[in-house]
Amino acid sequence: MNSNSALSIEEIREGGVCVVALAGRIDSTNANEVMTRLTGLISAGEKSIVVDLGTVLYLTSAAFRALLVATDRADRSAAKLALCSLAGHVRDLFEMGGMLELFTIHASRQDAIAAHS
């Protein structure tokens, strides 16, 4: 693994949906950045968020916690937060951790945006 595996967080506006595209690895050193960005969007009044995990290399329990906290915050703020594009190791880890049933998950970004529109 090289420097390309550093975490990046990109926000893209797709109509009324805010897509947050994560890339790289999400672990104990940077999971708080993800949580802060997502909860910040919800606090700012964002009502429809899709987190795209398509280019995430791997994630740890700290990342799951960040996503759970953000989902919980969205629920309490009458906002919708969904995940999309789980593949490879990332999907395996969701399954391994029993996480698939705890989130709204779409196969692709397009599917997620269509469901939120």
Where do contacts with another protein occur on this chain (CB under 8 A)? 1-2, 25, 27-29, 57-62, 64-65, 68-69, 71-72, 89, 93, 96-98, 101-102
To another protein, the closest distance from the beta carbon of 110 in angstroms equals 27
Which of residues 59 and 86 has its CB atom nearest to another protein in the complex? Answer: 59
To another protein, the closest distance from the beta carbon of 71 in angstroms equals 8
First to last CA, the chain: 37
Q: How far is CA 1 from CA 52, 71, 82, 99, in A?
A: 21, 30, 28, 26
